[in-house]
Amino acid sequence: MRNFWILFSYEGRHFRAAKGLVLLCCLLLATGLYGIYYGTTEIERQRQHLATLPELTRRNVEELKVKFPGPADAGDIGYYHTTFAVHHPDPWAALSLGLRDVNPSYVKLRLLGLQNQLYAADNTNPMKVLSGNFDLAFVLVYLFPLLIIALSFNLLSSEREEGILVLLLAQPVGPATVVGAKLAFRISVVLGLALALSVVGMLWAQVPLDMRVVAWLVLTILYCLFWFGVALVVTALQRTSAVNAVTLLGVWLVLVVLVPSLLNLGVAAARPVPQGIELTIKQREEIHAGWDRPKAQTMNRFFALYPQWRDTTSIRERFVWRWYYAFQHLGDQAVAPQAAAYAHRLQQRYDLVEQLNLLSPAINAQSSFNALAGTDLPTHLQFQRSAARFHDSLRAFYYPFLFRKVEFTHADYAREPTHTFTSQPELGTAYGGLVKLLLSVAAMYALGAGLLRLRPISPR
Amino acid sequence: MTYILEAKDLRKQYADKLALRGLNLQIAPGEVFCLLGQNGAGKSTTLNLFLGFVLPTAGAAFVNGLEVAVNPLKIKEHLAYIPEQVMLYPHLTGLENLALFSSLAGYKYSPTELVEYLTEAGLPVEAVRRRVGTYSKGMRQKVGIAIAVAKHAKVLLLDEPTSGLDPKASNEFSELLRRLSSQGTAVLMATHDIFRAKEVGTRVGIMREGELVDVRPTAALNAQELEQLYLTYMH
């Protein structure tokens, strides 16, 4: 053990002498800090945007009060009044933005059909989406392995190629101690960097101190250890530094780029998701057909859903709001199975990726970070369900006005339901990811140790 | 008699070559045994087997009574090794390199002591605190000698140790070997240098195609006879 610490301390000297590596570490530190800045700025931008929404609703109400100074038909109010279902980010979202850049953080809702409103989001720049998020999770998952490769590709081969290993192993020190000390030093440098960035990110994002702090740090440690395990396996093969570098970069390319791409294609083929546009068109056709359908037919279908309004007066007028909202409602009902199937298919696709991500620790780590931050697909689907329930509550609020022919007064604006939804972490997914990563790490170190046992380190 | 180095029917088969064919060798404390032979004769393989760098296909190597394959770390406490080309950490000074290798061997020296070891090995005092990257091959070789001496090993394994040294330094190295030998250190030296072998060796062994074909005490031969003997086996 004494020799382990001697070699460990001298690794520090070797590392300081390798100016390129020190520079690389500094560069990654700066990149990590930029990732934290990017993530916190993006979430702050979303928060500021979301903070303006109540003001927009308030102004809309003020305008309606001017437009309808006295008691008004609730149908008019329901048509012109906009409110918002809001998906507030968890502070953790700043560290792992996940799908928050592609999925809307709020949904603008009126009393009309829900489905077309649910998917009506602001346009985003596809080039920006293509480039992805540059948050801390991205730096940890995609760039840290490159640092680990740069630090470890010549773990032992450089000493062998320079002829120093002969003299080193002529001392009473075993190859395992030499490899262990070198690996341990590199692990301490990388983990020091990764954990420091994580802590800075947590402080910067002002995350709550809960179990997720531990989970994030353990996830970071395990993910880095996995890549050191890969480096150990490649070292155990005892090839030249050049071959090691190419092999490690190849593994990075496979695990970080190739497997995720193939998995994406495979999962898309295995779990096809119906096109959202088909759902929207069908709902729109159903609603537009409502104008031409006999009113009694529309209302009977609606009363089958809401028998409590069956005793309301029959419609003789050319246009009344309750008939209008009834066929809007029926439009949603007509596509309800498709909407459910769409969400179900998305969830199935996500679940399949969760099962297969054992093949790529990079995907596993990314989805685990997203799950901790509440920025993954299940969270978005939860928000959509929450928005749908909010829309239901709007209907439940307005329908008595419409069907009992109660006038809508200015005081009723304050009684209108409001919505809020804050991301919740998917802890089950994150903990599952931790277990899978632990298995990957164990497999790598077992393989590395096995190879070293089969082929003892040669000093030449 | 107790031997500090012993090879019993030591055999090493590489994938495509039989490098050592049942070597039997005993070296006593204070003895300087020089292995002569052409490239590929098995000299370096013999040293590697004593160092535990390669495992024997058959037979066993012993250092201070310990079987190398069974006690790979323990035997290195008794061994010091100087390869043909001593390579060191180039960004560390000669002093720092010596401090590193000595501490791995279990010795902690003061800077003054380290300087003494280096200068005794022939390194100029002004060079000891210079980065090894600026050293010549001969200077690195001298640091290698200092590392070996500072280890106070019972056995010195040398693989062409004077190949990078100038005549004066080679002569100093011979003096050093004689001194260590007189203190009881056993030396096994693989070399092509017949005259150095005659000068410092107590016995010479001639290796050919993995076999120790002849062993003679150097006292019984003069330089010409040794050269003649060597040439006889080489053709």
Indicate whether A119 pLDDT > 90.
no
Measured at the CA of A164, the angle between CA B177 and CA A173, to 5 degrees, comes to 80
d(CA A46, CA A93): 11
DSSP assignment of A353-417 equals HHHHGGG-HHHHHHHHHHHHHT-SHHHHHHHHHHHHHHHHHHHHHHHHHHHTTPPBPHHHHTTS-
Using an 8 Å CB-CB cutoff, list chain B residues near A166.
Answer: 53, 81, 83, 87
d(CA A199, CA B23): 62
Residues 6 or more apart in contact with residue A449 via CB below 8 angstroms: none
Q: What is the pLDDT of residue A129?
A: 65
Q: What is the pLDDT of residue A123?
A: 67
pTM of the model: 0.89
Q: How is chain A split into domains, by residue range?
A: 2-281+325-454
Average confidence (pLDDT) over A88-93: 94
d(CA A425, CA A296): 47
Q: What is the pLDDT of residue B166?
A: 80
d(CA B224, CA A434): 75
Indicate whether A392 pLDDT > 80.
yes
- pLDDT tens for A224-241 read 999 999 999 999 999 999
Region class of A199: left (phi > 0), else alpha (psi between -120 and 50), else beta: alpha
Region class of B157: left (phi > 0), else alpha (psi between -120 and 50), else beta: beta
Yes or no: say if A220 and A139 are a contact pair by the CB < 8 Å rule: no
β-bridge mates for residue A89, sequence order: none
Q: What is the pLDDT of residue A251?
A: 96
A22 and B CB contact within 8 Å: no
Residues 6 or more apart in contact with residue B99 via CB below 8 angstroms: B109, B114
Residue among B45, B79, B89, B91 with most chain A CBs within 10 A, to mutate: B89
- pLDDT tens for A325-346 read 998 999 888 888 888 888 888 8
Establish, for the pair of chains A and B, how many residue pairs have beta carbons separated by less than 8 Å.
66
- pLDDT tens for A279-328 read 888 888 888 888 888 888 898 999 998 888 887 777 788 888 989 999 89
Considering only CB atoms, A163 lies closest to which of B53, B81, B87, namely B87
Q: Read off the tokens for A451.
A: 């190879």
Instruction: Report strand pairing: B5-13 vs B58-63.
Output: antiparallel
Residue A263: strand, helix, or coil:
helix
Task: Name the residue with tokens 């419609």.
Answer: A315
- pLDDT tens for B11-55 read 999 888 888 998 999 999 999 999 988 888 889 999 999 999 999
For residue B147, give the chain A residue with the closest CA. Answer: A167
Q: Read off the tokens for B25.
A: 């060798």
Residues 6 or more apart in contact with residue B130 via CB below 8 angstroms: B93, B94
β-bridge mates for residue A249, sequence order: none
Task: Name the residue with tokens 């087997």.
Answer: B49
- pLDDT tens for B166-197 read 888 888 888 888 988 999 999 999 988 888 88
Measured at the CA of B121, the angle between CA B120 and CA B126, to 5 degrees, comes to 75
Residues 6 or more apart in contact with residue B134 via CB below 8 angstroms: none
Q: Count the neighbouring beta carbons within 10 Å of the beta carbon of residue A208.
A: 10
CA dihedral A166, A167, A173, A176 (to 10 degrees): -30
Burial class (CB in 10 A: 0-12, 13-18, 19+), B147: buried
Yes or no: say if A28 and A49 are a contact pair by the CB < 8 Å rule: no
pLDDT averaged over every residue in chain B: 90
Indicate whether A66 pLDDT > 90.
yes
Residue A226's nearest CA partner among A378, A41, A48, A439 is: A439
Torsion sign over Cα A134, A139, A145, A151 = positive
Indicate whether A130 pLDDT > 70.
no
Phi, psi of B80 (to 5 degrees): -125, 150
Residue among B47, B66, B68, B87 with most chain A CBs within 10 A, to mutate: B87
The pLDDT confidence band at residue B59, using thresholds 50, 70 and 90, is very high
Residue A437's nearest CA partner among A331, A366, A345 is: A366
Answer whether B81 sits within 8 Å of A166, measured CB to CB. Answer: yes
For residue A163, give the chain B residue with the closest CA. Answer: B87
- State the amino acid at position A387 in one-letter form: A
First-to-last C-alpha distance (Å) of chain A? 25
- pLDDT tens for A171-209 read 999 889 999 999 999 999 999 999 999 999 999 999 999
Percent of chain A with pLDDT over 70: 98
Yes or no: say if B206 and B212 are a contact pair by the CB < 8 Å rule: yes
Work out the minimum CA distance from B74 to partner chain A, whole angstroms.
Answer: 7
Burial class (CB in 10 A: 0-12, 13-18, 19+), A312: middle
The pLDDT confidence band at residue A89, using thresholds 50, 70 and 90, is very high
Work out the minimum CA distance from A171 to partner chain B, whole angstroms.
Answer: 6
For residue A168, give the chain B residue with the closest CA. Answer: B101
β-bridge mates for residue B210, sequence order: none
Q: What is the pLDDT of residue A310?
A: 82
Answer whether A170 sits within 8 Å of B76, measured CB to CB. Answer: yes
Yes or no: say if A40 and A94 are a contact pair by the CB < 8 Å rule: yes
Distance of alpha carbon A429 from its chain centroid, rounded? 12
The pLDDT confidence band at residue B163, using thresholds 50, 70 and 90, is confident
Q: What is the pLDDT of residue A57?
A: 93
Question: Which of A112-126, A245-259, A418-432, B89-103 is least confident?
Answer: A112-126
d(CA B193, CA B95): 30
Q: Count the neighbouring beta carbons within 10 Å of the beta carbon of residue A96.
A: 30
DSSP assignment of A85-110 equals EEEEPPGGGGT--TTTTTS-SEEEE-
pLDDT averaged over every residue in chain A: 91
Instruction: Report strand pairing: B186-191 vs B32-36.
Output: parallel
B22 and A CB contact within 8 Å: no
- State the amino acid at position B30 in one-letter form: G
Using an 8 Å CB-CB cutoff, list chain A residues near B72.
Answer: 174
β-bridge mates for residue A207, sequence order: none
Yes or no: say if B11 and B21 are a contact pair by the CB < 8 Å rule: yes
d(CA A159, CA A244): 14
Q: At what angle do helices A361-373 and A321-356 cross, to 10 degrees?
A: 140
Q: A101 or A259: which carries more pLDDT confidence?
A: A259
